[in-house]
Amino acid sequence: MKKVLVTGGAGFLGSHLCDRLVEAGHDVLCVDNFFTGSKANIQHLLARPNFELMRHDVTFPLYVEVDEIYNLACPASPVHYQHDPVQTTKTSVHGAINMLGLAKRVKARILQASTSEVYGDPEVHPQPESYWGKVNPIGIRSCYDEGKRCAETLFFDYWRQHQLQIKVMRIFNTYGPNMNPHDGRVVSNFIVQALQGQPITIYGDGSQTRSFCYVDDLIEGMVRLMASPPEFTGPVNIGNPHEFTMLELAQLVLKLTGSRSELKFEPLPSDDPRQRRPDISLARASLGWEPAVQLESGLNRTIDYFRRRIQA
């Protein structure tokens, strides 16, 4: 069994990863500053002898002894990462430097939760890992996109310069239980609005597309990537290749919740990518991974979660 550090472990994806690693018997250290994460997501793990929680901001150095590091710390919702953009860049860049420094000192294998946002508003569709992207360096999404791109650069430089064992995972839009109801991302917004009978807020005309991966599929891909042979560094896309417009998503959420909420069209935020769909050929070939959960079934599980949260 390994000693595993999960940064951002109290967040949406981090909490599912902690669950998975604790169940597998690993000694898990969850580090989080609770900017967007919550203790409620990992409350049930606190009594487990192989789980430990530490409040810490990854922009500051961390001295612990571990075998593996999953670096997930970073707000992922545009609303939250744009709230304090300087801190967002620091979290991605200083956070990567600190975690890579830690990995180098203790000779740990380290995985970076990168993002499809490194492709920006893509001109190549679907996006393969070989595509370098089309990113605005000075826009309102840049703190996140460029922060994550710089983190990828640091990972590959530590790999070339210090022979670190790195794994870079480009995560496409993921949804599921433990998302913060006030997170601001599209799936949580639409479900919460539908359950509360509030208008469904569609930005722009709703023709922009995303491809939504259920969290269990995503965590399976993440764990497989960490366990992959040392020479496999990625970057590798992990996401669901079924693409939907935001209007289609809204209609599906209305159908599955039985809600009569109306659609409300609001201005499209600047630099909002028009389309996004992963090419997952590399994940299929190198990790034997592909998603198993269809959108309707994953949305039903997520709707159940938000129903319980809203009633509580």
Q: Which amino acid, one-letter code, is at 42?
A: I
The enclosing H or E element of 169 equals strand 166-171
154 binds ligand NAD, rule: CB under 6 A:
no
Q: Of residues 41, 98, 114, 173, which one binds ligand UDP by CB under 6 A?
A: 173
Binding-site string for ligand NAD from residue 100 to residue 129, where x marks contact by CB under 6 A and - marks none? -------------x-x--------------
Binding mask 75-104 for ligand NAD (x = CB under 6 A): xx--------------x---x---------
**Residue 32 touches which member of ligand UDP, ligand NAD, none, C-beta under 5-8 Å by kind:** ligand NAD
Q: How far apart are CA 94 and CA 269, in angstroms?
A: 27
Structural contact between residues 237 and 287, judged by C-beta atoms closer than 8 angstroms: no
Using CB atoms within 10 Å of the CB of residue 91, give its burial: 0 to 12 exposed, 13 to 18 middle, 19+ buried: buried
Residue with tokens 């599912």: 16
- Indicate the residue among 190 and 289 with the shorter CB distance to ligand UDP: 190
For position 201 contacting ligand UDP by CB under 6 A, the verdict is yes
Can you state the angle between helices 85-106 and 142-162, rounded to 10 degrees? 20
User: Minimum distance from CB of 271 to ligand UDP (Å)?
Assistant: 9
Contacts of 157 (CB under 8 A, 6+ apart): none
Instruction: Name the strand (E) or helix (H) holding 146.
Output: helix 142-162
Helix 295-311 × helix 186-195 angle, to 10°? 60
Identify the active-site residue in 70, 144, 158, 214.
Answer: 144
Q: Does position 148 bind ligand UDP by CB under 6 A? A: no
Q: Which residues are near ligand UDP by CB under 6 A? A: 77-78, 173, 185-186, 189, 201-203, 208, 210, 246, 269, 272
Q: Which residues are near ligand NAD by CB under 6 A? A: 7-8, 10-14, 32-37, 57-59, 72-76, 91, 95, 113, 115, 171, 173-174
Catalytic residue numbers read 144
